[in-house]
Amino acid sequence: MGLYVIMKSKTPRYIDRILGKPGVLIFKEKHSTRYFLCDSKEDFCLAAMKILRERSEGGWYDSDVDDEVQSIVASNDTEDAFLFLRTRTTYEYENMIIEYGEEYENLA
């Protein structure tokens, strides 16, 4: 069992390493904790896009990042959605964790 704190990076190698094995993507939000069972990189990125789209429609983001969010949602770039949410993990109510059995990646 181990804890891995991941450095911010936008390299494909980072994405492939973190998302290259099945796990559970967990979003710890203000009123709930949401879980997504993911078998592949594509599943992780699709779950991230779902969350980003919901947050965008719900008015979560201020004008300073709203244009970036709208661009990601409009392009339907799921990998960019994951990377954007990864940059937001230090914000209140936006924590994101990946669990792999007894190991997990705290993306904060």
- Average pLDDT for residues 30-56, to the nearest whole number? 93
Among the listed residues 51, 15, 64, the one whose alpha carbon sits nearest the alpha carbon of residue 6: 15
pLDDT tens digits for range 75-101: 999 999 998 998 888 788 888 888 887
Is residue 8 exposed (0-12), middle (13-18) or buried (19+ Cβ within 10 Å)?
A: exposed
Residue 106 has pLDDT above 80, yes or no: no
Is residue 75 exposed (0-12), middle (13-18) or buried (19+ Cβ within 10 Å)?
A: exposed
